[in-house]
Amino acid sequence: MEDTMTKKKIALVTGANKGLGFETSRQLARQGILVLLGCRNPERGKAAETKLGEEGLDVDSILLDVTKSDHIYQAARYIEETYGRLDILVNNAGMAHPGESLSANSTETVSPKALRETFDVNFFGLVELTQALLPLIKKSDAGRIVNIASILGSLAIHSQDNGMPQFKPFAYDASKTAVNAFTIHLAAALKDTPIKVNSAHPGWVRIDMGGEQAPMDVTEGAKTAVRLALLGPDGPTGKFFHFDEEIPW
């Protein structure tokens, strides 16, 4: 059975028990990919695994809090021992700190604690996990890394008078800008390999973070990450997209 499974593409999606991570996992699994559901809560991870399994999808939940180095080490070891490689990594886990509003400019007031906690999840954990998994991704014939960023991380857009002046939660925005910098630098480091690294802006989606007023449902929100995870050999790398539209850094 294991030999049959390892012939499939293997994907890991972080923050996969709900929202965009759950839907991204579902859409990838519908493409015949075995999806590892990275979840920091084991009970919720198992519930997500059961729900997708009932849809006939091939998924496996694993314990993974990206802010915990021991979780990252254990996840990498499990993937190596069980599957021998990783074809797709979707760095979806992220947070908006409850100490700052997404619809205001918090630059003058955001606390050092909120900054550190936001960066721990959105950036430091993402980088540490990606670095730990790169040896396994390099074993893939066509590795794909998708970093879930946000249009709020675009310095080009924030520096324009474009109708978005109120949406400046500094901790969140700066962490996503840092994610985009990692995308650019990692893509450059891997330019002579088959691995492609891109950032995705899902859009304003009706999830816990986006709220009920958001115009997009989660099915649409997952499409950009899924497209980038399934890029062919001629696809872009080191770019930032929403659907097919490239976003300025």
Q: Each residue of 32-76: pLDDT tens digit? A: 999 999 999 999 999 999 999 999 999 999 999 999 999 999 999
**Known catalytic membership, residue 176:** yes
Residue 212 pLDDT exceeds 90: no
Please state the rounded mean pLDDT for residues 240-247: 95
CA distance linking residue 79 with residue 86, whole number of Å? 7
84 and 62 in contact (C-beta within 8 Å)?
Answer: no
69 and 127 in contact (C-beta within 8 Å)?
Answer: no
11 and 89 in contact (C-beta within 8 Å)?
Answer: yes
CA distance linking residue 67 with residue 70, whole number of Å? 9
Distance of alpha carbon 215 from the chain centroid: 21
Pick the catalytic residue: 172, 196, 223, 239?
172
**What is residue 163's DSSP assignment?**
S
**Known catalytic membership, residue 18:** no
3-state secondary structure of 238: coil
CA distance linking residue 227 with residue 111, whole number of Å? 36
Q: Residue 178 is which amino acid? A: A
CA distance linking residue 67 with residue 89, whole number of Å? 17
Give the pLDDT confidence of 163-208 residue by residue, as tens digits. 555 678 899 999 999 999 999 999 999 999 999 999 999 876 545 5
Q: Which of 178, 88, 102 is nearest to 133 (CA)?
A: 88
pTM of the model: 0.92
CA distance linking residue 74 with residue 10, whole number of Å? 17
The pLDDT value given to residue 6: 62
CA distance linking residue 187 with residue 147, whole number of Å? 11
3-state secondary structure of 177: helix
Greatest mean pLDDT among 199-203, 216-220, 237-241 lies in 237-241
Pick the catalytic residue: 9, 83, 168, 176?
176
| End-to-end alpha carbon distance in the chain | 44
| Chain position carrying tokens 């997500």 | 48
Give the tokens for residue 144. Answer: 């794909």
CA distance linking residue 169 with residue 152, whole number of Å? 9
Please state the rounded mean pLDDT for residues 99-113: 85
CA distance linking residue 68 with residue 91, whole number of Å? 15
Beta carbons within 8 Å of 81's beta carbon, 6+ residues apart: none
Domains in the chain: ranges and CATH: 2-246 (3.40.50.720)
Which is more confidently placed, 123 or 216?
A: 123
Bridge partner list, 200: 148, 241
